[in-house]
Structure 1
Amino acid sequence: MLTAAISFLLTAGGVAVAGLRARRRRFRSATRWFAVALLPAGLYLTGLFPLASTIGREFADWATRLVFDPRVWTGLVLLGVSAALLFASRRPGRRGEVESSAERPAAAGAAPERPAVARAPQAPKTSKDPKASGKPQAGKRDDGLGDFADIEEILRKRGI
């Protein structure tokens, strides 16, 4: 019965403050006050005050045990050690350490070698110029970038 009286008094007080705020043309503030004022009555009518009371008592009991009971401190230490071990066991794999060969799967074999750039087929040229013959010159390697020679020449002319 006392809980009902207190909750409805809190609701009435909040509604009064909301009315004063609305009278001063502060409607947004009045709306907030009215919303908060409805909470105590709503909690009482739905029966949540006993639940909140039980939760509050249990939390207070836990906090008291946390401070005064050595078993709780032992549990917290065990949780900390567990977290530290889990963290420490993950670090070596990230630093690049190699696992033992028994744990690794067998390799499928060496990867076949492939050219970096596929060359397009070239049409035969009739020029007597060694560059235009399509054959690589002595001392130079063919890296598949022959198509970019004219672009490179244009850039060189412009000083880029």
Structure 2
Amino acid sequence: MLTAAITFLLTAGGVAVAGLRARRRRFLSATRWFAVALLPAGLYLTGLFPLASTIGREFADWAAKLVFDPRVWAGIVLLGVSAVLLVTTRWVGRRGAVETPAERPAAGAAPERPAVARAAKAPKAPEKQQPGKRDDGLGDFADIEEILRKRGI
């Protein structure tokens, strides 16, 4: 009963403020106040206030366990280790330090001919660059850097 009285008082107060804003010809602000004023009544009539109360209590219980329970801290440590391992393997994989299974020769595969092996492993000739442009592996960032340099930034 008290919850209903409070929610409808909040709604009435918000509608009153919206009316004052509309009276001063601030219709956009009045519309916003009216929209916000309808929220408490809508939450009460749909029964979401008990749900919010339950969520708040459960969150408080979880936070208390987070601080005082050693098992939770062990879980946090495991999640951190997992994240560090995933980021590290991604970083090492991008650097090319890890050999993928496609790069390794199969155990029963026939050995490659020396001429083919040399041709496959020969480095590609670098493309001719335009004067004034350098290729540092950044791709589009080099263009952005050049634009910023022209503008003096």
TM-score range, shorter chain: 0.5 to 0.7
Superposed, which structure 2 residues align to 1:1-150 within 5 Å?
1-97=1-97, 98-99=99-100, 100-102=104-106, 110=116
Displacement, 1:102? 4.1
What RMSD in Å do the two structures reach over aligned CA positions? 2.7
Could you tell me how far apart the structure 2 residues matched to 1:24 and 1:107 are?
88
Give the superposition deviation at 1:107.
Answer: 9.0
The aligned residue for residue 141 of structure 2 is: none
* TM-score between both structures, scaled by the size of structure 1: 0.61
Deviation at 1:69, TM superposition (A): 1.8
Over alpha carbons, which structure has the higher Rg?
A: 1
- Cα 1:102–1:80 shift into 2, 3 Å: farther
Structure 2 stretches of 5 or more lacking a match? 120-153
1:56-107 Cα distance to aligned partner (Å, 9 max, x none) = 111111112112222211111110001111222233332223344349x889
Query: Normalising by structure 2, what TM-score?
Result: 0.63
**Moved runs in structure 1, 4+ residues, more than 6 A?**
105-109
Identity of aligned pairs, percent?
Answer: 78
- SS of equivalent residue, structure 1 residue 25: coil
Unaligned 5+ residue runs, structure 1? Answer: 114-160
How far apart, in 1, do the equivalents of 2:41 and 2:25 lie?
26
